[in-house]
Amino acid sequence: MKKEENASISIMKIICVTIILILISGIGVMAVNTDLKDVTIILQNGYEMTALTSKAKVSEILTENNIVLEENQKTIPDLSEEISSGQSIQITDKSYNEVQIAKISEDGAKTSLDQLLENYAPITEKIVVEQVTIPYETVTKNSGTSGDTTNKVLQQGKDGLKEVTYRVKYQNDVEIEKTVISEKVITEPVNKIVQVQKKTTSRSSTLPRTTGSTSGGTTYKITAYCPCSKCCGKTNGRTASGTKATAGRTVAASSKFAFGTKLNIGGHIYTVEDRGGAIKGNKIDIFVNTHAEALAWGVRYLTVSVVQ
């Protein structure tokens, strides 16, 4: 009886061992049949990591490795594409300019990822500060006498200086964009004053002018602005009085001048149609079409009188 029991136990052991071996073999077969591949993931900071995966799609491989893209990041190849063993996934900034996509070589094979990456040129930004000269104005002053009058310099002019901060973008060490961030006047220009029989201004402007005397007026600080957001915080071109700002007509002045007041500024007639937070005291802003014109105008000191 004991012998039969021992025999039964031995048979059970053999069966159990056999089942375990079959399971182990099955797992081994599954592992062999699984298509595992190694891919290289290159992070934006340059760090490289190798991942062993059975996934093919880029997005699935990143998810499997707990990698989440930021809003300003993208992958090369794209998230929806599939890759094979030995290929790389590059995580880079969206500002990278795609110069050339994958192309087919003469023998029909696709361009390698390394060759493709060579065609991507990064865009870099730098903050550049430059000092720019502010040209002085030559202002004439009536002599108050009749007849021919010899010009007489009452005050020598001197250029001013301002500091302009730019944001400059480069690609392949070539400047592709330059934007003004801020301007700071270091020294104001000193006007050259010349005494003549009749008042004129020697420096011409892109703005239209008409001839005429400005005697009896007051000297104002004249600047210029355009409809961009940098100048007036909006871009709809509407003035504080509700009219459409027009170059050669519209000026922004303090509340001492009612809307609709005609002003003779340097020999040209303008209309007060706008206001401004920085327009106080003896300061007037002339409307121009572009920001470049506003910068070119700079700061001028001209005689202003009310046209009756």
**Mind listing the pLDDT tens digit of every residue in the chain (308 residues)?**
555 555 566 677 777 767 777 776 665 545 444 568 889 999 888 888 888 888 889 999 999 888 888 888 889 888 999 988 889 999 988 776 544 444 444 444 445 555 555 556 788 888 989 998 888 887 777 665 555 556 788 888 888 899 989 998 888 788 888 888 888 889 888 888 877 654 444 444 444 444 344 445 788 889 998 888 777 767 777 888 888 889 999 999 988 899 999 999 988 999 999 988 778 888 999 999 888 888 888 889 889 999 88
Distance from CA of residue 28 to its chain's centroid?
Answer: 57
DSSP-assigned beta bridge partners for residue 38: 52
Residue 279 and residue 287: Cα distance in Å, rounded?
13
Residue 138 and residue 2: Cα distance in Å, rounded?
128
The pLDDT, as a whole number, for residue 34 is 55
Q: How far apart are the first and last CA of the chain?
A: 136
For 284, list phi and psi in degrees, rounded to 5. Answer: -135, 140
Residue 200 and residue 211: Cα distance in Å, rounded?
9
Q: What is the arrangement of strands in the sheet containing 192-196, beginning at the earlier edge strand?
A: 138-142, 192-196, 152-155
Q: 3-state DSSP call for residue 60?
A: helix
DSSP character at residue 82: B
DSSP-assigned beta bridge partners for residue 180: 166
